Amino acid sequence: MREPSPARTIGLAALVVTALLGSAYALGRGMVPDPPAAPTNVTGAAGPHYADQPPADDAPRAPESAPGSAPAEAGQDGGTPGGTPSPAQPDGLFGAQTTSGTSRVALTFDDGPDPRYTPQVLALLRQYQVRATFCVVGENAQAHPDLIRAIAAEGHSLCNHSWSHDVALGRRSPDAIRADLLRTSDAIRAAVPDASIAYYRQPGGAWTGQVVSMAQELGMVPLHWTVDPSDWTTPGADRIAATVVAGVVAGSVVLLHDAGGDRQGTVDALHRILPALAGFEVEALPDGSA
């Protein structure tokens, strides 16, 4: 048998070494963890972006509808204005209220006020003679007291949405929660001294027993929602409107945003949502002042 040439032997050895090195690299790379995903609840260059984003993995959260789909409640009443409304259900996590408790539909706007979008929302609500509920962030209320006064003057109800949209607020000490909620209510009443603040909405829907208890101790109803188009993800006006219109039934509480980022899609969606809900009685949640 003819002996292999030195060149052939060297070539085969090189192929073997190359294959072994490649396998070693792949094995080593597989042992290196992927870098963590970028956080979603961030402060951008233009300022803080508040939105009811999913909280941190360890923060409790009540279930909500998936983006682009109607919630489970939509099939119960057939989606008609004459459907039997759900009662004021304390079936959110830790007993947060998820419906209006009557046949009325409640539009709620979170994270404002914002000088770019809140006036547009108010103008459209005025045009369609609809009153809504505004869940305001304390530092925004302090920065824009004129908009708090405009909201109240037009008959909308006000809801406490924490001082700085702290998704983790419910895991803080009772004293810290109390101070945060009181500071926010004080900012609202600095603009409207006789404002009735009957509701509290936890940022991110990250309810805990202690934040629910503190809101109730301070005379506020913990308020969740029924229909969530995830407008904070800026899916576009068409998708926002379609999700709301398909999902609303008698008694729904709709989650929308007038601040916390680019909310022009939400404003534009209202041009479709408000006339489409004409068959329902759309009203602000009662503020307890009557």
Q: What pLDDT, on a 0 to 100 scale, did the predictor assign at position 263?
A: 98
Q: What pLDDT, on a 0 to 100 scale, did the predictor assign at position 217?
A: 98
Burial 77-98 (b: 16+ CB within 10 A, else e): bebebebebbebbeebbbbbbb
Both tokens of 2, joined, read 């003819």
Q: All domains of the chain, ordered by start, with CATH?
A: 1-33 (no CATH), 50-276 (3.20.20.370)
Q: How does strand 43-44 pair with strand 47-48?
A: antiparallel
Catalytic residues: 110, 257
Cα separation, 22 vs 261, in Å, equals 46
What digits encode the pLDDT tens for the residues 82-124?
333 344 444 457 899 999 999 999 999 999 999 999 999 999 9
For the chain, which ranges sit under pLDDT 70?
1-92, 289-290
Q: What pLDDT, on a 0 to 100 scale, did the predictor assign at position 249?
A: 97
What digits encode the pLDDT tens for the residues 164-183?
999 999 999 999 999 999 99
Q: What is the pTM of this model?
A: 0.74
Between the alpha carbon of residue 111 and those of residues 18, 33, 160, 173, the distances in Å are 58, 36, 10, 23
**DSSP assignment, residue 122?**
H
Q: What pLDDT, on a 0 to 100 scale, did the predictor assign at position 287?
A: 82
Cα separation, 7 vs 85, in Å, equals 86
CB 207 within 8 A of CB 170: yes
Taking every pair of Cα atoms in the chain, the longest distance, rounded to a whole number of angstroms, is 107
